[in-house]
Structure 1
């Protein structure tokens, strides 16, 4: 071959460098790196629920809830793996027969060739997890965990506390929260002085009314979370009377607060698999699985 003759591409080298379809085990390894199971709370039920580790995974579907409509959607889309934030089997069962709704979900997925993986409190606690995404969407800076992980990195833990770029009224901040959340029947509920200024913000995706002591200790002006029960919320408001009414409360949809994580999770998982030379299609469910269909309010 003369010096001026260009080298021919090696087809075998091209094939070797081309992305390949991962196995479920390889997807699980990447997932563990992003959202380690060690960060899950002791009461939680996370990890692989159904699926063969050696099965190929060409398509992944992400959703908040492992309900029947989501299982049907994943199978119809040709997914080999459904990843949900909420566990299907959080509370123990003695049967997964298709006579019950949990069993029907399991049968739908297995018969459709789709594995099920859940990432719950480990996805809450990890860097880039649920509360990190909420904090980012709301424009918080210098964030830190609300409840640091016992055995994790300093930046890992449940909830986040950070500051806004500049102070704003509670009314304007609540409007920002409302605009950031998926549209659901319950909307956003607010407790506090609409014209009061807020700067330091605590957030916790999902149910967070067990963290009020942490919120008060953080010095937050306002706390954004979901599922605020009457008594903890009432007691928090009474305690705030001696602290200028703070922390104010902003209650959002449990589903909505956690759905925000899905697009970010899909992007992070896709990037990591791509870096490892693995090719997979990842989709986020568009189904609204918030359990409420409509709400009545005064004047409605």
Structure 2
């Protein structure tokens, strides 16, 4: 039986309930007809020119993206704006766009579960749970099967995630044993205190700031592993693809195009 855009959305909503989204977020269907049949779906982190190109090339009728296209309030989507141009191109190409952002971050399993799995961690609990004893929330605390030196752990992270120009960087004693690890896909700087309070050996996330990172290291906090925002969330694409496949009769492609904005290194 041919699936419709609304069939795929129903599967995604069940996996990533919209009530888990932060109040400021913009999730759901951005453009497209829910009643339109869909045979191919592209899953990506960023709804940008490169991934819209990929959707057109693969014949996808629906893009499932993690990041919202229209997060801030807009008064128009004219083609004289970057985002408006993308909206018009998708509509003209018969491509719908659906975004699952902070609801996918907090869901169980969600973005940070996918990151933890990629790193070989057994998930123990959310880093910042929605409620005491709950399984939903931002970030995850996990553990390795056996402790390993921090230098080896940084190399583990680099091997597990897609390559980017900035790469993976670590802060801490390379010989420090690492067993318990907190992870937060995307910008996890605001959860650095939570990682420290959890008493983990290391914290993996993106967009860490200089001063808070340095202060926590000076205070004896966890070793830190910095990755790019895109790379930290890319493992979720495979997870979301399985959600869509489970809906049945839909061909799913995971985008392999790096949409990390950092493209040069001197």
TM-score range normalised by the length of the shorter chain: over 0.9
The answer (yes or no) to whether the contact 2:11–2:243 under 8 Å persists in 1 is no
Q: Determine the structure 1 residue equivalent to 2:244.
A: 269
Q: What does residue range 254-265 of structure 1 map to in structure 2 within 5 Å?
A: 254-265=229-240
Asked if 1:39 corresponds to 2:9, the answer is no
Identify the structure with the greater strand proportion.
2
Asked if 1:126 corresponds to 2:107, the answer is yes
User: Post-superposition shift, 1:86?
Assistant: 0.6
The answer (yes or no) to whether the contact 2:40–2:60 under 8 Å persists in 1 is yes
Deviations 1:121-172 (A, max 9, x none): 1111112211001111212124210011259x82111100011111111001
Q: Determine the structure 2 residue equivalent to 1:7.
A: none
TM-score for both structures, normalised by structure 1 = 0.85
Distance in 1, Cα, partners of 2:163 & 2:138: 25
Q: Determine the structure 2 residue equivalent to 1:51.
A: 32
The structure with the larger Rg is: 1
Distance in 1, Cα, partners of 2:10 & 2:117: 26
TM-score for both structures, normalised by structure 2 = 0.96
Q: Determine the structure 2 residue equivalent to 1:230.
A: 210
Q: Determine the structure 2 residue equivalent to 1:113.
A: 94
Q: Secondary structure at the match of 1:42?
A: coil
Distance in 2, Cα, partners of 1:236 & 1:121: 26
5+ long unaligned stretches in structure 2 = none
Q: How many residue pairs are counted as aligned between the two chains? A: 266
Distance in 1, Cα, partners of 2:234 & 2:99: 14
The answer (yes or no) to whether the contact 1:72–1:108 under 8 Å persists in 2 is no
Q: What does residue range 155-166 of structure 1 map to in structure 2 within 5 Å?
A: 155-166=135-146
User: Post-superposition shift, 1:236?
Assistant: 2.0
The answer (yes or no) to whether the contact 1:123–1:130 under 8 Å persists in 2 is yes
Distance in 1, Cα, partners of 2:148 & 2:40: 43
5+ long unaligned stretches in structure 1 = 1-19, 241-245
The answer (yes or no) to whether the contact 2:12–2:243 under 8 Å persists in 1 is no
Q: Secondary structure at the match of 1:69?
A: helix
Q: Secondary structure at the match of 1:89?
A: coil
The answer (yes or no) to whether the contact 2:60–2:95 under 8 Å persists in 1 is yes
Distance in 1, Cα, partners of 2:131 & 2:84: 35
Distance in 1, Cα, partners of 2:192 & 2:219: 10
Task: Choose which of 52, 55, 68 in structure 2 pairs with 1:87.
Answer: 68
Distance in 1, Cα, partners of 2:212 & 2:32: 40
Instruction: Give the aligned CA root-mean-square deviation in angstroms.
Output: 1.4
The answer (yes or no) to whether the contact 1:130–1:261 under 8 Å persists in 2 is yes
Q: Secondary structure at the match of 1:211?
A: helix
Q: Secondary structure at the match of 2:46?
A: coil
User: Post-superposition shift, 1:64?
Assistant: 0.7
User: Post-superposition shift, 1:93?
Assistant: 1.7
User: Post-superposition shift, 1:233?
Assistant: 1.6
Task: Choose which of 194, 200, 205 in structure 2 pairs with 1:220.
Answer: 200
Task: Choose which of 223, 233, 238 in structure 2 pairs with 1:248.
Answer: 223
Q: Determine the structure 1 residue equivalent to 2:130.
A: 149
Asked if 1:29 corresponds to 2:10, the answer is yes
